[in-house]
Chains A and B, each alone.
Chain A
Amino acid sequence: MPYDYRPYAYVPPPGLTAPEPRHKVVIVGAGPIGLAMALELANHGIPSVVADDNNVVSVGSRAICWSKRSLEILDRLGVAQRAVEKGVTWKVGRTFHREAEVFNFDLLPEDGHQMPAFVNLQQYYVEEYLIERAAAEPLIDLRFRNKVVSVSQGGDHAVAEIETPDGPYRLEAEYLIACDGARSSIRGMMGLDFDGELFEERFLIADIEMQGDFPSERWFWFEPTFHPGQSALLHKQPDNIYRIDLQLGWDADPEVEKTPERVIPRIEKVVGHGDFRLDWVSVYTFQCRRLRRFVHDRVIFVGDSAHVVSPFGARGGNGGLQDVDALGWRLAALLQGRAGTKVLDDFNAERVHGTDENILNSTRATRFMTPDDGVERLFRDQVLALAAKAPFARGMVNSGRLSKPCVYPLGNAPDDAGLPEVSRPGAVAPDAPLGNGWLLPSLAGKVTLLALGCAAPTVPGTTPLAPEVTDTLRARYLGSAERALYLIRPDQVVAARWADPAAADVAGEIAKLWRQA
């Protein structure tokens, strides 16, 4: 069954009749990133107004691959369980050259994590779940068919002029967060541009509904016989929907290629029959580009409005959720007077770093998949040829390196070389079973002192956690050390760690976290 797009109700906003008081935060865009941002801020006690020019969820499946890290973030926002239950869980990717499998990867080869490596779920479901949560959250004021038409800034606030079906009004907020996507109108209004690379390539993207028995894996083909000379990608989604991406070449006419007369024969060749229904078709080009800065005084760009990547690697939506993750706790503390304004510089630096890693990986994958004529094509083809006869070349076959959270460069954070690399400062704390549940949820939303093999010292502003040391905790947090103390941020990122808890200057590290001068 096709997804039932139900419009959400427009309610005339109070600003139409009387000026509204200055809000803490206005979020522009009720896509997955804007909604997640509002819920994350609400978790930290910050109210927000979310304005969206539309009143339905995403048309087409769009972002479908939600990474382990995204699911951990969505868990804090109360929708991960639904997403996992509804979605298609997968962790294995297979890459084929013509008929032969040349490379495969397992994204989560170890047990002891609450969330799977990936869940495929249409963006419209994720938005639907987030909207339900947001609508039930008293701190969130969700306004559909509220279109921002201009943005300006005062010294300590931002102003948005908004159009509604009942006319215009004005919103003021201490901060405005632009979550309005790759074609961000806020970005345009502020005269900001992306830097980076545009690829001259077109892909057809089609969702089809069919009864199939494809396994829950990601399949990628270079030069398949069903689509000679190009590449193709197959993903399984819930409701018997399959996502198929087909490389078309730069000369393809997007309008012509989107017509069923052109799409259906192409899909028939992929799946080997005509027994399917076309659910959604689009033709896309891609870029790997970003804004130079994401924070512009009182306007903050988050998600695709700040950076765009090619889709191979699932680094768009997942990267956006990591922006939300890095911003929420900091902005909340700033607005509550618990942090200095430099926390926004920290957010900017961390997410520019994460974005550059995403752009680097996406650019490399895109270059491998769509090489320029000449020497790029030569090496690409010879890597594929070698992959059939030498194991080393299989790892060079690049059909997308899938989204993982980056390790933030925390520079001078206290660390101990004897402790495991996986839990080093800057990394997301690795999950592990904890009692009847999991470690990560117990680290969410607050500063935690995780003490292993020792007692947690009492430090104001921290929550102690001293679980019994299981084998998994030992492997991921101690290695060969007998004890360790971990300072973990509200976004579950390790801020500092000490193998000698007695020597730990926890209060000093906390002051750095909140940028208290």
Chain B
Amino acid sequence: MTLVTTPNLTDADGFYAALLAAHKGRTEAESHALNAQLVLILANHIGDEAVLREALELAKA
């Protein structure tokens, strides 16, 4: 498997809104904590180390 970089969410706007809603009312530190947990949860769900490496590279680029 390789990292999906083309549109993959049926409702991208909906997810974006849900992401912002999850952060609403949080301090910056609390938001960082939430993001960190989200990264860990999603990474575990993906599981594929090659995909995760690609994702890390894309984010760092």
> Which bracket fits the contact residues of A?
10 to 19
User: Which residues of chain A are near B37, meaning CB under 8 Å?
Assistant: 382, 385-386
Q: B10-41 vs A: 1/0 string, CB under 8 Å? A: 00000000000000000000001100110011
Q: A386–B40 contact, CB under 8 A?
A: yes
Contacts of A385 in B (CB 8 A): 33, 37
CB distance from B33 to the nearest CB of A (A): 6
Stretch binding the partner chain, chosen from A255-263, A281-289, A388-396: A388-396
Cβ–Cβ < 8 Å partners of A378 in chain B: 32-33, 36
Q: 1/0 contact trace for A385-413 toward B, CB 8 Å?
A: 11000101100100000000000000000
State whether B44 touches A392 (Cβ < 8 A).
Answer: yes
- Contact assessment for A393 and B40 in the assembled complex, using a CB-CB cutoff below 8 Å: yes
CB contacts (< 8 Å) of B44 on chain A: these are 390, 392-393
A104 to chain B, nearest CB (A): 19
Residues from 346 to 385 in A contacting B, C-beta threshold 8 Å: 378-379, 381-383, 385
Given contacts A379-B36, A385-B33, A396-B40, 19 further A-B contacts (CB under 8 A): A378-B32, A378-B33, A378-B36, A379-B40, A381-B33, A382-B33, A382-B36, A382-B37, A382-B40, A383-B40, A385-B37, A386-B37, A386-B40, A386-B41, A390-B41, A390-B44, A392-B44, A393-B40, A393-B44
Determine the residue in chain B with the shortest Cβ distance to A390. Answer: B41
Closest Cβ neighbor of B38 among chain A residues: A382
User: What are the residues of chain A within 8 A of B32 when measuring CB–CB?
Assistant: 378
For chain B, the count of residues having a C-beta within 8 Å of the partner chain is 7
A–B pairs, 20, beta carbons within 8 Å = A378-B32, A378-B33, A378-B36, A379-B36, A381-B33, A382-B36, A382-B37, A382-B40, A383-B40, A385-B33, A385-B37, A386-B37, A386-B40, A386-B41, A390-B41, A390-B44, A392-B44, A393-B40, A393-B44, A396-B40
CB closest residue in chain A, given B36: A382
Q: Footprint of B on A, CB under 8 Å?
A: 378-379, 381-383, 385-386, 390, 392-393, 396
Task: Compute how far the CA of A385 lies from the CA of B44 in the bound complex, rounded to whole angstroms.
Answer: 15
CB-nearest residue of chain B to A396: B40
Among all A-B residue pairs, the 10 with the closest Cβ atoms? A382-B36, A392-B44, A382-B37, A378-B36, A379-B36, A386-B37, A382-B33, A378-B32, A386-B40, A393-B40
Query: How far, in whole Å, are A386 and B44 apart by their CA atoms in the complex?
Result: 12
Q: How many A-B residue pairs have CB under 8 A?
A: 22
Residue of A nearest to B47 (CB): A392
Residues of B within 8 A of A383 (CB): 40
CA distance A385 to B40 in the complex (A): 11
Cα A325 to Cα B33 in complex, Å, equals 46
In whole angstroms, how far apart are the Cα atoms of A220 and B26 in the complex? 32
Q: Shortest Cβ distance from B22 into chain A, in angstroms?
A: 14
In Å, the complex CA distance between A378 and B41 comes to 15
The B34-61 residues at the A interface (CB cut-off 8 A) are 36-37, 40-41, 44
User: How far does the Cβ of A375 sit from chain B's closest Cβ, in whole Å?
Assistant: 8
Expressed in whole angstroms, the Cα–Cα distance for A383 and B36 within the complex equals 8
Q: How far is the CA of A396 from the CA of B39 in the complex (A)?
A: 13
Instruction: List residues of chain A with CB within 8 A of the CB of B41.
Output: 386, 390
Give chain B residues whose Cβ lies under 8 Å from the Cβ of A386: 37, 40-41
Q: Which residue of B lies closest to A393 (CB)?
A: B40
- A381 contact set on B, CB distance < 8 A: 33
Contacts of A396 in B (CB 8 A): 40
- Nearest-CB distance from B45 to chain A (Å)? 9
Give Cα A454 to B54, complex, Å: 49
A283 to chain B, nearest CB (A): 32
Q: What CA separation (Å) do A382 and B40 show in the bound complex?
A: 9
The distance in angstroms between the C-alpha atoms of A392 and B40, with both chains bound, is 9
Report the separation of the CA atoms of residues A390 and B36 in the bound assembly, to the nearest whole angstrom: 14
The interface residues of chain B lying within 8 Å CB-to-CB of A379 are 36, 40
Report the bound CA distance from A386 to B41 in whole Å. 9
Expressed in whole angstroms, the Cα–Cα distance for A382 and B33 within the complex equals 6
A389 to chain B: closest residue by CB: B37
How far is it, in angstroms, between the C-alpha of A396 and the C-alpha of B44 when the chains are bound? 11
Residues of A with C-beta under 8 A to B36 = 378-379, 382
Which A residue sits closest to B29, measured CB to CB?
A378
State the CA gap A306–B2 with chains docked (Å): 42
Which residues of A lie under 8 Å from residue B40 when comparing CB positions? 379, 382-383, 386, 393, 396
Which chain B residues border A393 with CB–CB below 8 Å? 40, 44
- Report how far A379 CA is from B33 CA in the complex, Å: 8
* CA distance in complex: A378, B31 (Å): 11
Distance in Å: Cβ of B44 to nearest Cβ of chain A: 4
